[in-house]
């Protein structure tokens, strides 16, 4: 989808938005012709980044997987989680006839089931406002200051905040080591969900190394997944 759309469309935000919707439609066709009714409730988050000419970075996301940019040692969030805790997202669900219910851990879920308000799939909840349309963000990279892009799933985000992720990665020698250290850290501190990270180095990689990394692991470690 991406390759075909890039050939037709200059605006990468439009490319990503169209690609997300096309992928959702393709999955819907597969589910329609499948005999497995459980697929109606199958779905996924998605966070995708496109880099053009080494300068133009565009990110699109649905759900609660995140993207962050490390600039001058500071973490800049490029995505905002799609959850019922956001008023705009909750309002769309309610206007579409859905409801938000809180579980025993105090976590809001769409119709008591889904922790996200946007996703690819989850076709049983499409009619009540769960959409596959992503939010997008465009940013111009400055390689003298930008160290890396990190894409993370909620198994990591629940355990470490964005600045902690940034600080840990800045202590690592290469992106492969960084990804391994972060994922192992999440598992060590009790993550029960998918803990996946992609680290993309930029021009300032290795320039922000520090001597100390502090953590705030005094959280209540409970599941933060699609069905918490």
The CATH number covering residue 35 comes to 3.60.40.10
Q: Phi and psi of 124, rounded to 5°?
A: -70, -15
Lowest average pLDDT, out of 2-11, 32-41, 52-61, 68-77, goes to 2-11
- Given pLDDT bands bounded at 50, 70 and 90, which one contains residue 44? very high
Domain boundaries, position 20: 2-201
- Given pLDDT bands bounded at 50, 70 and 90, which one contains residue 153? very high
Lowest average pLDDT, out of 59-63, 102-106, 150-154, 215-219, goes to 215-219
* Number of structural domains the chain divides into: 1
User: Is residue 218 a part of any domain in this protein?
Assistant: no
pLDDT at 212 over 70: no
Q: How far apart are CA 79 and CA 137, in angstroms?
A: 8
pLDDT at 188: 85
User: Is residue 216 a part of any domain in this protein?
Assistant: no
pLDDT at 211: 46
User: Is residue 214 a part of any domain in this protein?
Assistant: no
CA angle 86, 152, 184 (to 5 degrees): 130
pLDDT at 1 over 80: no
- Given pLDDT bands bounded at 50, 70 and 90, which one contains residue 227? very low
């Amino acid at each position: 989808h991406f390759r075909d759309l890039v050939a037709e469309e200059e605006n990468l935000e439009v490319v990503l938005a169209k690609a997300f919707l096309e992928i959702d439609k393709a999955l819907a066709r597969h589910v329609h012709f499948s005999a497995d009714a459980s697929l109606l409730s199958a779905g996924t988050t998605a966070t995708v980044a496109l880099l053009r000419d080494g300068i133009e970075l565009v990110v699109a996301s649905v759900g609660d997987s995140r993207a962050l940019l490390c600039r001058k040692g500071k973490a800049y969030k490029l995505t905002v989680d799609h959850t019922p805790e956001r008023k705009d997202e909750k309002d769309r669900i309610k206007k579409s006839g859905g409801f938000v219910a809180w579980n025993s851990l105090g976590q809001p879920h769409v119709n008591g089931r889904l922790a996200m308000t946007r996703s690819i799939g989850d076709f049983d909840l499409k009619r009540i406002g769960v959409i596959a349309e992503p939010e997008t963000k465009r940013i111009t990279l400055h390689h003298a200051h930008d160290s890396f892009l990190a894409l993370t799933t909620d198994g990591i985000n629940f355990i470490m905040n964005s600045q902690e992720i940034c600080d840990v990665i800045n202590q690592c020698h290469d992106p492969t080591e960084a990804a391994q250290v972060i994922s192992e850290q999440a598992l060590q501190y009790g993550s029960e969900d998918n803990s996946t990270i992609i680290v993309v180095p930029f021009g300032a990689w290795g320039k922000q190394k520090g001597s100390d990394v502090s953590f705030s692991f005094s959280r209540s470690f409970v599941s933060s997944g699609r069905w918490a």
